[in-house]
Amino acid sequence: MLNKEKAILVGLDLNHPGEDIERSMDELSLLADTAGAVVLERVIQKRNVPDRANYIGKGKTEDIAALSKMHEADLIIFNDELSPTQIRNLDQAVETKVIDRTALILDIFARRALSREGKLQVELAQMHYLLPRLIGLGNQLSRLGGGIGTRGPGETQLEVDRRVIRRRISDLKKEISSLRKHRALHRERRKRDRYNIISLVGYTNAGKSTLLNALTGADLYTEDKLFATLDPTVRRGLINSGKEVLFTDTVGFIEKLPEQLIAAFQATLEELQAADLLLHVVDLSHPNYLNQINIVRNQLAEIDPNYFLHEIMVFNKTDLVETISERSYLAREYSSASFISALNGEGINELKKNIAEFLDKKRCNLKLYLPYSEGKLYSELQKYGDVQSVKSRTDHLEIVAVVDPDLAAKLEPYTVS
List pLDDT tens digits, range 212-243.
999 988 775 555 556 655 566 788 888 876 77
Please report the pLDDT score of residue 142 as a whole number: 47
Write the secondary structure of the chain as one string of H (helix), E (strand) and C (coil). Answer: CCCCEEEEEEEEECCCCCCCHHHHHHHHHHHHHHHCEEEEEEEEEECCCCECCCECCHHHHHHHHHHHHHHCCCEEEECCCCCHHHHHHHHHHHCCEEEEHHHHHHHHHHHHCCCHHHHHHHHHHHHHHHHHHCCCCHHHHHHCCCCCCCCCCCCCCCCCCHHHHHHHHHHHHHHHHHHHHHHHHHHHHHHHCCCCEEEEEEECCCCHHHHHHHHHCCCCCCCCCCCCCCCCEEEEEECCCCCEEEEEECCCECCCCCHHHHHHCHHHHHHHHCCCEEEEEEECCCCCHHHHHHHHHHHHHHHCCCHHHHEEEEEECHHHCCCHHHHHHHHHHCCCCEECECCCCECHHHHHHHHHHHHHHHCEEEEEEEECCCHHHHHHHHHHCEEEEEEECCCEEEEEEEECHHHHHHHHHHECC
Of the candidate ranges 126-130, 221-225, 315-319, the one whose mean pLDDT is the lowest = 221-225
More confident residue, 5 or 263: 5
Average pLDDT over residues 51-74: 93
Please report the pLDDT score of residue 113 as a whole number: 78
Please report the pLDDT score of residue 144 as a whole number: 47
Of the candidate ranges 101-105, 109-113, 311-315, 328-332, the one whose mean pLDDT is the lowest = 109-113
255: nearest Cα among 65, 20, 69: 20
pTM of the model: 0.81
Q: What is the pLDDT of residues 156-213, one digit of tens each?
A: 444 556 778 888 899 998 988 888 787 778 777 777 777 888 999 999 889 998 999 9
Q: Give the chain's mean pLDDT.
A: 84
Q: What is the pLDDT of residues 400-416, one digit of tens each?
A: 998 888 888 889 999 99
Q: Is the pLDDT of residue 83 over 60?
A: yes
Strands 37-46 and 97-100, bridge-based pairing: unpaired
Average pLDDT over residues 315-344: 86
Domain covering 5-114+138-143, topology: Rossmann fold (3.40.50)
Q: Where are the domains of the chain?
A: 5-114+138-143, 195-360, 363-414
Average pLDDT over residues 101-110: 90
Q: What is the pLDDT of residues 13-29, one digit of tens each?
A: 988 776 789 999 999 99
Please report the pLDDT score of residue 220 as a whole number: 59
Please report the pLDDT score of residue 177 as a whole number: 84
Please report the pLDDT score of residue 221 as a whole number: 54
**At CA 224, angle to CA 251 and CA 125, rounded to 5?**
35
More confident residue, 381 or 304: 381
Average pLDDT over residues 131-136: 69
- Look up the CATH superfamily of 195-360: P-loop containing nucleotide triphosphate hydrolases (3.40.50.300)
Q: What is the pLDDT of residues 350-360, one digit of tens each?
A: 999 999 989 88
Please report the pLDDT score of residue 136 as a whole number: 45
